[in-house]
Chain A
């Protein structure tokens, strides 16, 4: 049995053309390389400490 209210919450506003620029800037472009670098930086920092 569908819960109308719950299903309705799953629908998010769609991106409009005017919001593309902001969306581009807010796009999280982090990938695995960045994550490994962060891990390595933390490990290096912890080693030096």
Chain B
């Protein structure tokens, strides 16, 4: 066999092999096969064109252009390489982007050699975004992620690389290493193939890079219950210090308002009560006045009747002066009119002197026999007719009679009147002594009867002097018409006897 034919056959064989590999996206194997085909026959245009296409498929555009240019040099006509080159030339923008991506890739190699992996990652991300079929960029980026422990990103890059070259040895090896690393992490208790809690997860979606935020470490372990407890305490503190005082203040204000309302109501009610009380008092006063007026009218009527009776009795000359005096004493002079008062005065002037004499004599007789009640009654009438009768002796004996019968109050009143009307007289001295005795009896405890009677005897002795006064009075009344003369004579003997008896008692 001709060697040239054998060479051609071998070249074609490897071309076919390369074509099969290229069809299953085994670009690495295709490149090897096609290179071998070209080693047998450099003018295998099909193999060279396919090689260029394979290079183009894995992002190595410049290498593809080299093969196509060489192919066109070997055959200028009926060569699909011409179409490929024309297509590339017509898309200058894409070629420029590819060229930039290649430049970034080459720059990343320099960064990696200098240890600036971070910069390299950034450049490679940009490169793959500009040239999405750049296999070597994906592989380098995956290596960098594996080196920095970003296994999720590495996996993502290796997935893209495997799409471009399914049997690439480097890609497969990196993926195997990734599995091994994730398996070791799962054995250590961490989650396999999942981003760690402190890892930042980044995803590529088109030209955008999505970064998952780092999970918070606040809610770990048992801090939840502690945080809940703190929250409850803070809420309770807020309620205690902020809300409760406001509520209490509002309640206190409401209570104060109610107290004020009640106070106002009480005040108004008290005012009403006061007004009602005043009205009631006025009604009572009016009623009292009405009753007084009624009584006054009745008294006036009675007074006029008594006055008329006395006038008739006086005109008839059939009644004694003491009887008429009793009736006349029942007349209220102030209730009478002018003519009534004039008639009253006339009758009193005619009747009272005689009546006083009669009643005074009777009273002294009663006094002398210790009938103090009768004496007091008669002397009372005398005093009513003439308070100063016998220079106050009637009033004095009235007081004494009241004291004798135990009416200290009346005695005090009458004796005080004696002192008032007749000062600097014997009657006044006697009255003062009696008043002092009454005062001592009132303040001091009960004393024996002998002493009292002895005191009374002394008093009576003093009194004995006084009855002489009426005698003097009688002496003064030399006309004889004066009833006092008879009274004085009668007074001396009888009163002296009485005094002596009183002293002996």
Contact = CB atoms under 8 A, between A and B. Distances in A.
B4 A33 contact: yes
A15 B69 CA distance: 15
A44 interface: no
Q: What are the 10 closest A-B residue pairs judged by CB atoms, nearest first? A: A15-B62, A31-B42, A17-B99, A32-B7, A29-B42, A13-B106, A32-B40, A4-B147, A23-B66, A14-B102
Interface in B30-78: 38-43, 60-63, 65-66, 69-70
Contacts of B65: 17, 20
Contact of A2 (B41, B63, B70, B174): B174
A49 to B, nearest CB: 24
B68 to A, nearest CB: 10
Contacts of A19: 62
Question: Which of under 10, 10 to 19, 20 to 34, or 35 or more describes the interface residues of B?
Answer: 35 or more
A1 interface: yes
A32 B4 CA distance: 9
Contacts of A8: 109, 112-113, 143
Interface in B86-122: 95, 98-99, 102-103, 105-106, 109, 112-113
A32 B37 CA distance: 10
17 contacts: A4-B143, A4-B147, A7-B170, A11-B140, A13-B106, A15-B63, A15-B102, A17-B65, A27-B70, A29-B70, A31-B40, A31-B42, A32-B7, A32-B39, A32-B41, A33-B41, A34-B42
Contacts of A17: 61-62, 65, 95, 98-99, 102
Contacts of A2: 143, 146-147, 173-174, 177
A11 B139 contact: yes
A20 to B, nearest CB: 5
Most chain B beta carbons < 10 A, residue from A8, A10, A11: A11
